[in-house]
Amino acid sequence: MRYQQITDPLTEPVTLAEVKDHLRITDESEDAYLGSLIIAARYAVESHIGLFLISREMDVYLNGWAMQKSSLWWDGIMQGAWVNIQNREGYLPLPVKPVSAVEDIYLRAADNSEKTWDRSAYYLQSGSSPKIYKGRTISWPSLAVDGDAIRIRLTAGFGDSWNAVPGVIRQALLQLVAYLHANRGDMPSHALSDSGIRSLLAPYREAQI
């Protein structure tokens, strides 16, 4: 299993104006620097809680119709561990969260071409526990290859705007940006703990097995 981001978020989950107000900065001399800290904080929080905050298109590649587990680390292209057990359930859990839409599901042929699985054969359970459900009378399609046999084009994130992101997560982002600003030049691995946001984010973080 792996997944790849296709489009970037159109905005950030906290605004530059919010950050400057939080830090009580009134001039524009640090605007570019603060913008980079916002992006760094978003990456750190998304990695920590395993959730994408602002909507973006992604491709999820699966080796088969099986249950999978993945790490929460995100670097643009996710590589995760595959648990090769037969999926006898009527649904397939998705490894990215939250998911608001599935555009298409593509099946790779032996000649590397792709065909689209009929949309009427499945539906999406959206949200923070996203699943693809097949129809009760539908079987999972047979696969022609072993690796990257399935490509799912989907939209991941709470929404297109910052106000779709839960307030507690946005507060954690402000605190993390403030910590990084106060400790510029020093990007400690314990920033999440020292900034005090781990407890804020605890309800959103799933335990890894």
Q: What is the pLDDT along the chain (209 residues), one digit of tens a residue?
A: 899 999 999 999 999 999 999 999 999 999 999 999 999 999 999 999 999 999 999 999 999 997 544 444 444 545 554 444 445 568 999 999 999 999 999 999 999 999 999 999 999 999 999 999 999 999 999 999 999 999 999 999 999 999 999 999 999 999 999 999 999 866 666 899 999 999 999 999 864 43
Residues 168 and 121 in one domain: no
| Inside any domain, residue 8 | no
Give yes or no: residues 39 and 69 share one domain. Answer: no
Q: Is residue 46 located within the same domain as residue 101?
A: no
Instruction: Indicate if 108 and 80 belong to the same structural domain.
Output: yes
**Shared-domain flag, residues 107 and 186:** no
Measured distance CA(79)–CA(12) in Å, rounded = 25
DSSP secondary structure of the chain? -EEEE-S--SS-SS-HHHHHHHHT--SSTTHHHHHHHHHHHHHHHHHHHT---B-EEEEEEESSSEEE---S--SSEEE--EEEEE--SSEEE-SSS-EEEEEEEEEE-TTS-EEEPPGGGEEEE-BSS-EEEE-TTPPPPP-S-SSS-EEEEEEESSBSSGGGS-HHHHHHHHHHHHHHHHTTT---TTHHHHTT-HHHHGGGPPPP-
**In a shared domain, residues 73 and 120:** yes
The answer to whether position 6 is within a domain reads: no
Residues 93, 123, single domain; the answer is yes
Residue 77 located in a structural domain: yes
Query: Is the peptide bond preceding residue 130 cis, with omega within 30 degrees of 0?
Result: no
Tell me how far apart the alpha carbons of residues 91 and 132 are, in angstroms, rounded to a whole number. 5
Contact 105, 117 (CB under 8 A): yes
- Kindly report the pTM of this predicted structure: 0.83
Q: What's the CA gap between 64 and 68, in Å, rounded?
A: 10
Do 100 and 24 lie in one domain? The reply is: no
Domain carrying residue 88: 56-156
Q: How many domains does the chain have?
A: 2
| Domain assignment present for 185 | yes
Q: Assess if residue 132 is contained within a domain.
A: yes
